[in-house]
Structures are given as C-alpha cells and as structure tokens.
Amino acid sequence: MTETNFRAELDDDGLLSVVWDMPGRSMNVLTADAIQELSGIVDRVIAEEAIRGVVISSGKKAFSGGADLTMLEGIARLYERERAQSGETAAAQAVFDESRKLSQLYRRIETSGKPWAIAIRGVCLGGAFELALACHYRVAANDGSTRVGLPEVKVGLFPGAGGTQRVARLLPPQDALQMLMKGEQIRPDKARAMRLVDEVAPEAEIVDRAKAWLKTAPKAVKPWDEKGFKLPGGPVWSKGGFMTFPPANAIYRRETQGNYPNIFAMLQAVFEGLQLPMDLALTVESRLFAKVLRSPEAAAMIRTLFVSMQELNKGARRPAGVAKSALKKVGVVGAGFMGAGVGYVTAQAGIEVVLVDRDQAAADKGKEFARALISGQVAKGRATGAERDALLGRITATDDYGALGDCDLVIEAVFEDPKVKAEVIAKVEAALKPEAIFASNTSTLPISGLAKHSSRPERFVGIHFFSPVEKMMLVEVIEGEKTGDEALAVALDYVAAIRKTPIVVKDSRGFFANRCVIAYMLEGHLMLTEGVPAAMIENVAKQAGMPVGPLSLNDEVALDLGLKILNATKAQLGEQAVNPAQETLLRRLVETEGRLGRKNGKGFYDYPEGGKKSLWPGLAEVVEAKLDPDAIDVAELRDRFLVAQALDAARTVEEGVISDMREADVGAILGFGFAPFTGGPLSWIDGMGAKAFVAKAQALEAKHGARFAPNSLLFDLADTGETFYGRFAGPAKAAA
C-alpha cells in the first residue's frame, strides 16, 4: 500500500507506529484520500498476526482539526445529483452510505481485536477526536496548545462518526449533552478528569507512554462491548434519565428557538442510541447525520462559517504582488476602552505595543486594563504567570508621541470627533517613519474624510474593531478613496497576526456592519413606538435567530451614542435622513429620563448592582401606543428584523461597499450575530430566492414604509432568477 498521508512502521515488539503527516499541509485533515489510506492500515492491522498493537500520532505541531468540510459539502451535493438521476430514495441511500464511511472505519478500529493507542498534541477536534474516542487508550500532551473537542455544532452539523455515542457512554448524560451542545475545546487536564483522555504527559513522552500501555498486553475491547456494561448515568428510562433529557429538550428550545436542526438531531441520536447496542446506535447516529447534512442550514453554515471564513482568514482579499509585512511594533493612540483592548490583543499576538494617551496616568490605565484581562486568564488556568509578565512587558504606556517613531503601524482609537482625530493624525504623522501605515479605528466617520488631514493618504486605512475587542472576532478593514494596496495589505497582515477575521469594505457611512445593525435597532425602536410590548420585541428577535434583542443591544452600545449618530446624520444629510419616531423615543430616554444604557445602569433595561437586568417598567409611560399582544403577527415581526438587515446588506453590494459576497455573510454573523443558521443575509436571500425575498420586502413596504423598498439589484436578480453567489462569483462591481 502506498503511504502518502500516514507513515506506518512495525517495531521489534510488534507495535505498529502510525504517523499522520499529510504532505503540503500545515495541519492534518480528514479527506477522502486520508480516510481510504487509514482504512488500508486497519486492514493490515487485522490481517497481520505480527502486529500486536497500534499507536497513532501526528508528524505536525497539531494532531488534526478534523474533517475537510468541503468533502462533506460534496456529499451533500451528491444527494441532488442522485435524486435527479435515480429518485429520492436512492439519493437518500447514497448520502447515508457515503456519510457513514468514517463511522464504520472507526468501529472497525474499535473492534479490530488489536489495541489502538493515540498520542495527542496540539488540537484534536471533530472527526479527529472521534478517531481518538474509538482508540482504546488516549494520551494527551500537557502543553498549552493541546485541546480536544467536538465543535461540529458550530457549523450546522453534529459529531457523525460515533462521537455522540462514545461520549454518551463515557460521561454521565448531562455532562455528555453539555459537551456536545457547546462544542467547546477542552484542555488536557479537564479532559482527563472527564475521562475523555486516559493520561496526560509531557509532549516529548506521549508516544512512549502510549507504547508502554500497549506493552502491558491490554484487552482490545471497549467497555460498551463487554457483557454487563452499565451506562454512567443509568438507563434513559430511569429517574436520572428523566432528570436529564426533558430538561435538555427545554434548554434546546430556549437556546435555539428551533432554528438549529443539527442540535435537535444530536439530542435525538443520544437519546435513542443509549437504548441500543453500539452498532445499532451508530446506525441511528448515521441516519440522523445524513439527514442533517442535507439540510439548508448545514449547507449555509458550512459555506459561511467554515469555507468562506477560512478563505478570508488565509488572505483571500489581500492585494496580489505586495510583499508580506512582518509587524514588529504597533502603536495605539488612545488608551480608553477600545484602544486598551486593541493594545491587549496586539501584545497577545507577540507584537510590541506603544500605548499613547494624553497623559501618563491615562496611558497607564490602558495598560492596567490589559493586566486585568490577562490576570483573569491566569486565574482560570488559561495562561501562566510567565505568559502574563511577557505580555505586559510588550506594552509600553506613555504620553510621548515620539515613542511611535519606530512603529510599523499606528492605530488611533480616540474620541469619535473629526477635530480630535485631525489633531491626533498630525501629531502621529510628525513622529512616524516614512514607510509606516496609519490606521483609524472609527466606527462612524468616513475614512476618506479623515484621510484629508493626512499628508500621506495612500498610507491611510481604516481598521474598525468591534467591542469588546478581545472577544469579537470580526475586523472591518476600510479602503478610503486614496488608500493604497500596501496600506490595505499591512492592515490585513495585522488582522491575521492578531488571529481575527477581516472583511474589506469601501468607505461609506456606517461601513457595513454598523449600517446593518443600525437597521436592526431601528426596527426594535419603531416596534416599541407602535405599541408592541418590549418583552415581545426582545423575544421575537431571538426567535428570528439574533443573539440579543435590539433593545438590549442598544443598551450595550449606549443610547446616547445612538442619539449622537442620529444627530450627526441629520446634520449632514437633512431631516429626511432620520426617522422622527425613533428620534422622539431616544430624546425622551436620553435627555428627559437620563437613561444612557448599561454604562449608567439604566436604559431600556434596569441594571441593579449585583442583580439581574430587567426591562424598565417606565417604558409603558414613555410609549403611548398599546397593541394587543394576541393580535400581533409574530411572523411579520420576525421578518421585519431579518429583512431590514438583509436589505441593507443587498444595498451595500449594489453600492460597491461590499465587493465579495463571502465578506457580507461572514461579517454579518461575526459582527452583529445575524441569524447564523441562515449563513448570513445574502445566503438567506439566495436560499429563498430573490423573487420570494422581493415579494416579502414589498409586502412590508406596503405596510411599514419605504425603508423596506427593494433596491434595483434585487429586482434584477428576481427577474433573472440569479443569486448573489451565482452572479458575483468574483468581486462584485458597483451598479452603474
């Protein structure tokens, strides 16, 4: 057998060492070829009497990130081809047979009659960890990079190669369901305590430890294949089972609003599988997995949250022909909440940071913010004291702009005032070396306007972070009218260095993410002024798939900030640019009631110190209109939330603000949580078809006004039957 992805070597003790080391890849991935090759190794292990046991390890820094999801996309497409050729039943059978090959392979490992041990270093996730679970012994390295887990739920799937059944037989059901539903990456010590790995050892020893276990001549039988095996939490139809599965179903309904069929199918796989012998349980899992794999939710989430995101993270939008930059030192001007966060994530990436503010006390306060964040990680066991000290050592807090002289990139994060930013630009450029790039972290001010204050507009770019910087994964990189390719490339290199996902947008009011999310909050405000109960607004928004309601979100970003944006919009574009009902509501709350949002403990919600937030009872007096909740069309409310955002996303494509459909969908989900199960606003439109979406928008326009009017591009797509992804396979161009 030709060894391409795995190297197999038999030693004098009869132990077969299998090293997974795929050529031309930085990480091992389960591809169709790799699966076939591993299957051949299993055949050899079963056939050769000289082989007493197997130890599998990785030849790379990490074990494996799991299955190649593009392979799973291909299996889903197989269904459409087979259905067209042979009918529904044959197509479903084809997908079932193809999608369960990995599950059957792992079952052969488990029942091969020879013991398999696995040595894990770095990440071991998804289908790779399902391989580990099928092995008879698992040794994990105790270094900081090692993680195990089953994150498939995050891309619309669930563990379909035996993961649901093995985890549920290793852990009590409540722990198993929590692990499967969260999809978290688990550290080695915790994994050992959960019995997900058997031993934790120094990285240099993990293969030897695995071999040492094999030399003890262990039984090659899993507990669940032995007579008399008892489930850790007792039978499903027991007191413990009744205390687990009905609440789990309720939690699923509460957390997902029924929008994620993969999670319900996963619960079903565990519930039904635990009542069956292992082979039948795996068949149940495979049937449910094949069904989920064909779902539109899985297709949309895999494309956006795996394929598109991976492509963007690898530099899909980076200008060609520009040499990759090696950023050694980054300046951050403005050590407030945003600037301090930018300094923290930059230092976390191993880059030296110069943190500048108006005086030393303000700069020191920004560094203390970083100290608090990293100290919290140390307290949780996610970082060491040495790592904390090293990170803080990379941050220099100062009030001296001259300290920016040797920075490769400087990011200003000062107050959102054009005059203040103009002063900062002048001070920074007086100190910058000629080849350095200047970036503005503005969320509302046009980059091209700010660049007019620069003596080097071609080296001026926008880098818009989202709050809180340390948690939010999206960064908008904004091209001004004169931004050059080198400035854009350096900005994208920087975003890659801090391990966040970039989208490139053309300069415009609100850029992309803020523009769409403002439309979302506007709908919440208008519903409130129409008399829709506040609690219904918040709950229906979550039913639509949004992570938080629009009123809660507005509290987080601050009501007075919303009013400032509204005032600025009116000043620049005129009275017609703002909605009078929204303006009246915000002025009443901010100027009359003094309710600014979470930051002063009162907004649409009350935030009692040490207590749980609750909707402010006074909203009933602020809003005169009252509607009967039972007479409100909930489906229409859901549509309003999603259509309002999707319309603005479509407009940004027509206007050339967005030139790559992947960026709109990835940006919408990462930036403001647009219903992830849809794959993003453009995927949502494509999924129902532009014609159906235009009809939906026009119905809302007739009832609620011109903000729901479809744009010309949507009418064109509806007339031609095209999709966004179909027409704009490459970068889109602004409509003439």
Determine whether 626 is exposed, middle or buried from the number of CB atoms within 10 Å of its CB (0-12, 13-18, 19+): exposed
Backbone torsions φ then ψ of 394, nearest 5 degrees: -85, -5
DSSP 154: G
SS3 at position 8 = strand
| Bond into 173 cis (ω within 30) | no
Whose tokens are 């790995």? That residue is 197
Cα 651 from chain centre: 24
Of 307, 306, 292, 270, give the one whose Cα is nearest residue 95: 292
Handedness of CA 652, 656, 659, 661 (dihedral sign): positive
DSSP 580: H
Q: Which residues are catalytic?
A: 464
SS3 at position 540 = helix
Backbone torsions φ then ψ of 28, nearest 5 degrees: -70, 140
Give the pair of three-digit tokens for residue 85. Answer: 């050729």
Q: Cβ neighbours of residue 729 under 8 Å, at least 6 residues apart?
A: none
26 close to 59: Cβ distance less than 8 angstroms: no
Pairing of strands 147-149, 185-186: antiparallel
User: Could you tell me which residues are beta bridge partners of residue 149?
Assistant: 125, 185
d(CA 117, CA 131): 10
The DSSP secondary structure of 103-140, one letter per residue, reads: HHHHHHHHTSSS-EEEEE-SEEETHHHHHHHHSSEEEE
Backbone torsions φ then ψ of 371, nearest 5 degrees: -60, -40
Q: Cβ neighbours of residue 215 under 8 Å, at least 6 residues apart?
A: 13, 15
d(CA 370, CA 65): 30
174 close to 267: Cβ distance less than 8 angstroms: no
d(CA 299, CA 73): 7
Q: Cβ neighbours of residue 414 under 8 Å, at least 6 residues apart?
A: 333, 334, 336, 339, 420, 421, 424
Q: What is the 3-state secondary structure (H, E, C) of 211-239?
A: HHHHCCCCCCCCHHHCCCCCCCCCCCCCH
Query: How many of the other CB atoms lie within 10 Å of CB of 576?
Result: 8
Give the pair of three-digit tokens for residue 709. Answer: 């009017």
Pairing of strands 395-398, 352-356: parallel
Composition of the chain by helix, strand, coil, percent to 5: 55, 10, 35
Determine whether 268 is exposed, middle or buried from the number of CB atoms within 10 Å of its CB (0-12, 13-18, 19+): middle
39-48 burial by CB neighbour count: b if 16+ within 10 A, else e? bebbebbeee
- CA dihedral (405, 409, 411, 417) in degrees, to 10, reads 70
590-608 burial by CB neighbour count: b if 16+ within 10 A, else e? beebebbbbeeebbbbbbe
Task: List Cα–Cα distances, 425 to 335, 456, 492, in angstroms.
Answer: 16, 10, 21
